[in-house]
Structure 1
């Protein structure tokens, strides 16, 4: 792929190769990728920067994909966003560290059982993850896009879009201004102008997950490690060093601190309460009052917020889930949050966004050069986005069913752990082979799948486990199966799986916390070479080599 900077003006005024609606994470990063590679980009947004946004917690897949996009598309300014160290040194000291995913299970009216906890620790060999202070990150990406030549139009609301399959799109603002583009990428979120104009929303949504949320930023949130309820906890890593999820029948509460390391200058903490409205119906109660009433029902969670105050207005939503029956059409594509949304649980939103930027970037660059904007070129993005939506819906739906009973939740949580860890293996294997060869075809290979959207499409066993988990949780939801029986079947499936190293012991009930220690890594390396399936072992070996290399060079 030949790279060039886009420093010249468009061939005609207000005429572009690609118009991007929305300049958040998706729009800013995609705009930077395209403009860096010579695409004439118009970056439109109804708002301005800086601005408040949620979607603040990364996972290893997010950071790995950011690193791939930076190197694949030759945008070095993106590379710092692939690690907590890079962000703190080069982008913002207002972001927090994320060393773990923590889950503490609560029952209303009962003391928290110190055995009912789960934690997945990010391996110390990488420690890349971050709690993103989004207003800084989004502004940074927007400015990188503009630096490379994307034409910014903030405070510009698109009122109408007309698309001609042969010539492209005409976009009209609410003030009567017109822009023309060969292709439109809508990254504007739920209120997508294209979804509305083309009637793309599924009504009702096909999502099985049912949740709403209220959220804000707070000051004065105490580390849960200091709470009386946490004194008997024996998790491997402090709760405050990562993203903490308080889970309970009917929902979960996130605590995402930005002040949890010495270099941070941000005293804030992101807090959100996500509830199943069938268990916790929404009424006209103000969000702060609803939050306080909830804490009154769970005093051991409330300890963490005894001195906390919201520093910005609460946002209280209706049902979060929405979807689209079509996300790719002639001359347009909806990115992840314009296409649909499930729930913030497991921090998949940013990951799905990066997936789309990576898969869409090279297609748009190629189309801007050869003039082929055919639907066929972009068809994969339809399957990918719908697959990502459905996989996440299955997982979150199963988790909400699991929240009713710790034993079931304890089992479902393992399926998420495996998807997170093994999906990252797929990505790091591809990145390692790319660094060795410089051949971008390794990333095209990731698209060659009959199960787009699955974190581990190469493993029949993994995908069968995911399907079994969903079916068992549905049986529990319909009162056809006891939670403990479903939990045992899930654990048995994991214990017998050929794609899981036995040394991980994830099929055992009491492996509630997982830390990839050097000892586990050594045992896993032996398993990879001797007993792992051929679709897993070599990929794990390559991923490990790549991560060690990244650590040694300070990436």
Structure 2
């Protein structure tokens, strides 16, 4: 009988949520030698947006031992476009590290299966109903079983299990309110399309009520979505709103001529929030369970990877040091998480200030140092001390913890 069973624990750690954050945390904890259970309420593969990755996710991906280039579209950078003023600005991102545009269903499944390959016990279609974190351990009740473990990782995405249980979710105002999106396939050859798939860049189109993403996927497919920051026009249903803005864009008219819509129009709301209690007695949150931002800078999966790696490594260290019941175990790492999250939050806020987006993004070619600073932030190079733009963002106003 192993140490866990002798002490009444079924597992060292139960990770709730089988998306990128949960699968990453589970895999790394298993690599550290711990007995892990990973619970996912749905069944892979399942559709998900957030298809554009950041280069500085690569170190975590390498630790997981997977090849994220396989079957995916290389991403060279990001192009910000204002069709009203005919302005474009390209920011190279895959300079020091590589990144990709990828379809989340197969990719999330790959991460989940990779956890199982590392010895994680994985359950799908199992929903957690109750969680109790006590000084002596964690009790978890699902619709299929009951488990006792030494530690809980909340990687439940925007379900935010612990945050909503403890009512510690705070909405972030003035960012995107909702997104409406779909996929297209059979993108026809043409100058615009060929260049898009050659570079693999994400296009960010600035529009009057928010912005549009255009993400090239493998197999000459596109993910296209509209993020609405202002109030929706009252004369238009949400689904019709997307069609209205697609039809009004010359770029999208060129790209989508002869293409076929290959997915239903979907809507996602409850877009931007922070969880004020990201860690506590025998638990820690990572990924979207810790907070979620408007996706204009594609930070979601990047923050999922990096926060999950920190959580996994700190839990392992806590077990070694006998600090697993210390509610402040993750305090130092949480400061690092907040540095990254708040940098992106303030950066997104600046994006929505129309005069700043034009002066900062579309005039960046006038200042090579500024353009490099923007590109580094867009790459996810956040934990450095030599980015003047990042310093000015963080100094602009105090941020809540």
The answer for the alignment partner of 1:144 in structure 2 is 114
Q: Which has the higher contact order (CA 8 A, sep 6+)?
A: 2
TM-score (norm 2): 0.86
**Of the candidates 267, 272, 278, which is equivalent to residue 316 of structure 1?**
267
Question: Do residues 51 (structure 1) and 46 (structure 2) align?
Answer: yes
- CA–CA separation in structure 1 for the residues paired with 2:357 and 2:389: 24
Q: 1:118 aligns with which of 89, 100, 105?
A: 89
Instruction: Report how far residue 286 of structure 1 moved.
Output: 4.8
Quick check: 1:173 aligned with 2:142?
yes
User: What does residue 201 of structure 2 align with?
Assistant: 242
Stretches of structure 2 that go unaligned for 5 or more consecutive residues are none
Partner SS, residue 295 of structure 2? coil
Equivalent position of 1:384 in the other structure:
336
C-alpha distance in structure 1 between counterparts of 2:211 and 2:380, whole Å: 28
Specify the alignment match of 2:167 in structure 1.
Answer: 199
Pair 284,170 (structure 1): closer, same or farther in 2 beyond 3 Å: farther
In 1, Cα distance between the equivalents of 2:277 and 2:371? 27
Total equivalences in the alignment: 391
Structure number with the higher strand fraction is 2
Q: 1:316 and 1:365, CA in 2 relative to 1: closer, same or farther beyond 3 A?
A: same
What is the match of residue 332 of structure 1? 283
Aligned to 1:216: 182
CA distance in 1, matches of 2:210, 2:277: 30
How far, CA to CA, are the matches of 2:111 and 2:3 in structure 1?
21
How far the C-alpha of 1:380 sits from its partner, in A, is 2.0
Shift, 1:357, TM fit: 2.3
Q: Is the 8 A contact 1:22 1:44 kept in 2?
A: yes
Corresponding residue for 1:273?
226
Cα distance change of structure 1 residues 64 and 411 upon mapping to structure 2, 3 Å threshold: farther
**Ranges in structure 1 where 5+ consecutive residues have no aligned partner:** 1-7, 82-86, 260-265, 427-454, 472-555
Measure how far apart 1:23 and its partner are: 0.9
Quote the offset at 1:304 in angstroms.
1.9
Aligned to 1:31: 26
Aligned equivalent of 1:158: 128
1:97 paired residue among 51, 59, 74: 74
In the alignment, the residues of structure 1 paired with residue 389 and residue 357 of structure 2 have an alpha-carbon distance, to the nearest angstrom, of 24
CA RMSD in angstroms, aligned pairs only: 3.1
* Bigger fraction of residues in helix: 1
Q: State the SS of the aligned residue for 1:190.
A: helix
* Structure 2 partner of 1:106: 83
Picking from 190, 212, 230, the partner of 1:253 is 212
In our comparison, the structure showing a higher alpha carbon Rg is 1
TM-score normalized with structure 1 length:
0.64
* Partner in structure 1 of residue 292 of structure 2: 341
Residues 294/151 of structure 1: CA separation in 2 closer, same or farther (3 Å cut):
same
